[in-house]
Structure 1
C-alpha cells in the first residue's frame, strides 16, 4: 500500500469511527431519556455491552473479519505491520473491556438501593462529554496511526502493547478527573 492509499484508509477509518461513536452516544442517551432508567440500570447495561465486546473479541481470536469493510481492511494492514504485537494489543483491549464491564456490574450492584431516580441529562453536559470523548479518541488514534504507518518492520513494536496500555491508564485517570470536575460543575452550578 502506498502513502496515499494509507492516508485515505485512515481518513475513512476515522470518519466511520466518529460517526459510529457519535451515533451510539446519541442513541444511547436518547434511549436513556425515553426509557427513564435508573443509575443502577444504566451501569448494568454499560457493563453488559463492555463485557460482551470483550468476550466476543476473545472468542473471535486473531481474525480480521469485520461487518464494516474499512475496519477489516485496517485490521489486515495493521496485522501485517505489527506482527504478533497486533494480537497482543487486541487481546489486551478485550480483557480491559471485560474488566471495565465487571467494574460497571459492581457499580450497578452498589447503586441498587439508591432511590430509583432516572437520569436527568442537560444537553450542554452531553455535548461536552461527547466532544471530550471524540477529541481523546481522535488524538489517540492519530498518534497510534503515526506509530504504525511509519514503522519499517514488526520488530519496532516489541513491548508496544505494554507501553501503550501504561500511557492509556495514565491518560484515563487524568480524563476521569477532568470528566469528574466537569460533572461536578454541572451539578453544582
Structure 2
C-alpha cells in the first residue's frame, strides 16, 4: 500500500524528535539562558536576546571534525565558535571578530583563564586611541570592562599571541567585525565556554 505524503511527513517529524535533532542540525537551543544573574559579586545584566539573530544563540549542533573533543574552532567568516563535543556534536556560540585589517588565522592554546579579568590595552591600541592611556596600568574588572566576565588567553609557539576569547558588554556586536582581533562572546556565553574549556585546550582560528 502506498503511504500518503502527510503520513510520511509526520513520520519524519517524529523521527527527528526521537533523536533530538531538528532538520537544521540543532540538538538543543539555550535562548532562555541569557537572563540577569549574580556572578562573583557582580550583577550581570540580561541580554535582550530577542534582538540577537537566532543563529547566534548558543546551541548544540551537528559538527563533524577530526579534532578531539575539547578543541575550540573559530569560524571567523560565519561568526561562530565551536566547542567540540563527542559523537559529531559541538556547542556553537555567536561571536564578534576583528574588523578589517585586524583579522588573524592560526592555531593556539588556552594558556590561562581568568574570571572578571583586568584589561590592559596594548601600546599600539593606545597609539591609535590616546584616550586609553589612562588604562596603561590596567582597567579594573567590572561591567563596563571590554573583556567582560571571563577571558581565555591564547598563546602560540612564540608565547602570548595578544589575542583573547573574552566576554563583552556589547552584545550588539555579536555577528559583526568590530574588535581589534580578539574573539568576543556575550557574557553569558563566555561563562559557559569558560566552564567547558580546559587550560591547554587547542584553539583553531579559521
Q: Which has the higher helix share?
A: 1
- Regarding TM over 0.5, the answer is no
Q: Which has the higher strand share?
A: 2
TM-score normalised per structure 2 = 0.24
TM-score normalised per structure 1 = 0.26
